[in-house]
Amino acid sequence: MGPRTLADLTRKDLFQQQGFINDEWVDATDGKKFDVVNPGTLEKIAQLPEMGASEVEKAAAAAETAFELYRKTSARQRARWLRKWNDLVLEHTEDLALIMTLENGKPLGESRGEVVYGASFLEWFSGEAERTHGELVPTANLNQRIITMKQPLGVAACLTPWNFPVAMITRKAGAALAAGCTTVWKPAGETPLSALALAVLAKEAGFPKGSINVVLTLDKVSEVGEALCKSEKIQKLSFTGSTRVGKILASLCGQYGLKKLSLELGGNSPFVVFDDAKIETAVEACIMAKFRNSGQTCVTANRIFVQDGIYDRFSQALAERIKTLKVGLGTDDGVFIGPMTHERAVEKALAHIEDAKKHGASVVMGGSSFQPDDHKGYFLQPTILTNMSSEALITREEVFAPVVALYRFKTEDEGVRLANDTKVGLGSFIMTENMPRMWRVAENIQAGMVAVNIGLLSAAENPFGGVKESGYGREGGRQGIEEYLTVKSIFLNVAN
């Protein structure tokens, strides 16, 4: 039996090859198409319409019209649609996971996990929909009253990356639709099939015509991004991706309508192991923080700072553990690390490894690209670099690959200083059994999120987001829905 393909889907209609505008499956006006490729085999798996500014405007118009009715639906009704969507996503976990693995490369087990994680945002925001409300504000003047109400902003554009093809859609669209906004999705051109499958299930869940629209592009991403920022029909943008693109969107949104924006951008997460950490806990946390999605997450442990007294024991135990991780095609059994999603990801990681070596690092494991089981994909050996110098490029840039970069430090202050020596601040990880130290370091670390003795920051309940050049706004948590709402106050005169 060969590797699993899209022909193995149980629900064949979850595989769509058109955009979705105003409840219809559509092609690009000029008929242009782009290919979606399996990064583990380099086989073409789909051909999708290459859309541009004119399709953005059609999608925005559909969403704007739909908003007039959608904003008047009850929060209870929106919660029901979200719950139904959640149930359908979970029911079709196996099909959604297969689609995701084929377009993104991540191992099937991990894709299944992402489907469940993705669905959890729908369940979470179904609850939040009904618990978001205004307040009666006490006033100094007893003849006055102030009441606030929260209202949906309007049409929200959801621009999502290729590393989490399901969860980033549901984290944004779940919140937007719960708040009463209608949506235009622009999934990454490398992984649009998961978003289209989600749209099929959302439609089945009952979301009204025009409340969900999907615009597709691979090559016209700047044109589409710009059109979403410029459209007068769109009031809100939420973007997950690079700091470079986030800055472009922020300036366009500032220029065109001062659109409200949430940005979840690049990270350069420190993973700080103190002498008092439990080795097994720190190793398992590091495996999770570094190798999830083959190192291609915005919160991946990019700089691993290990205190002097534990450095040798930790690096040896980590190397032993990494040797047990199978690298291969995401659809093969037992695979823990899949291919990179892009060819350029492999090139960039190899350049980072060479640069680290020039700055004195030793490669104690891996260091090259390779083809496990003779596949023809974008594979990189899991790599460990020790004795990293702060001059190396990896110190400043995300390597976004299964490359473990170990730095040595001596004191707690030095560990915190090194962790904070970066322009970004999304995730961070600290490993310590010392409670006062945990508090001190968590308070002093410059990041939106701190994980303590765990290699994960992802949960629907967690307000996910960063500080500094990692962006602004929060997704998930109690705060996630607020990004799509505005507060209106009613000022009353109650004098006799």
Q: What does the binding site for ligand SIN look like in residue numbers (CB under 6 A)?
A: 163-164, 167, 240, 264, 297-299, 458, 464
We find the least distance from the C-beta atom of residue 426 to ligand SIN, in angstroms, to be 8
Find the helix packing angle between 192-205 and 167-179, rounded to 10°.
40
CB within 8 Å of 144: residues ≥ 6 apart: 491, 492, 493, 494
C-alpha 168/C-alpha 162 separation (Å) is 9
Active-site entry in 264, 475, 482, 483 = 264
Q: Name the minimum Å distance from CB 141 to ligand SIN.
A: 46
Cα distance between residue 161 and residue 230, in whole Å: 21
Sequence-distant (6+) residues with CB within 8 A of 182 are: 63, 64, 66, 67, 70, 154, 155, 156, 176, 210, 211, 212
C-beta closer to ligand SIN: residue 45 or 288? 288
Compare residues 205 and 289 and give the one whose CB is closer to ligand SIN.
289
Q: Which residues lie below 8 Å from residue 23, measured CB to CB, with a gap of 6+?
A: 62, 203, 209, 210
Nearer of residues 240 and 331 to ligand SIN, judged by Cβ: 240
Which CB sits closer to ligand SIN, 76 or 423? 423
Distance in Å, CB of 263 to ligand SIN, minimum: 11
User: How far is 22 from 61, CA to CA, in rounded Å?
Assistant: 9
Q: Classify residue 334 as exposed, middle or buried by CB count within 10 Å of its CB (0-12, 13-18, 19+).
A: exposed
Residue whose CB is less far from ligand SIN, 41 or 243? 243
Smaller CB distance to ligand SIN: residue 285 or 298? 298
Query: How many Cα neighbours within 13 Å face the side chain of 280?
Result: 0
Identity at 400, one-letter amino acid code: F
Of 59 and 287, the one with the shorter C-beta distance to ligand SIN is 287
Q: Other C-beta atoms within 10 Å of 52: how many?
A: 19
- Tokens for 10, please give them: 């149980």
Smallest separation, CB 117 to ligand SIN (Å)? 7
Shortest spacing between CB 316 and ligand SIN, in angstroms: 29
Residue 111 burial class via C-beta count within 10 angstroms: exposed 0-12, middle 13-18, buried 19 and up:
buried
Q: Which is nearer to ligand SIN, 167 or 340 (CB)?
A: 167
Q: Which residue is nearest to ligand SIN (CB)?
A: 458
Beta bridge partners of 424: 468
Residue 180's nearest CA partner among 151, 213, 140 is: 151
Q: Is 264 a catalytic residue?
A: yes
Q: How far is the CB of 458 from ligand SIN (least distance, A)?
A: 3
Provide, rounded to whole angstroms, the least separation between the CB of residue 296 and ligand SIN: 8
Smallest separation (angstroms) from ligand SIN to the CB of 454: 13
CB of 475 to ligand SIN, least distance (A): 8
Q: CB 262: neighbour CB atoms within 10 A?
A: 24
Of the two residues 49 and 266, which places its CB atom closer to ligand SIN in the complex?
266
Instruction: Show which residues are catalytic.
Output: 264
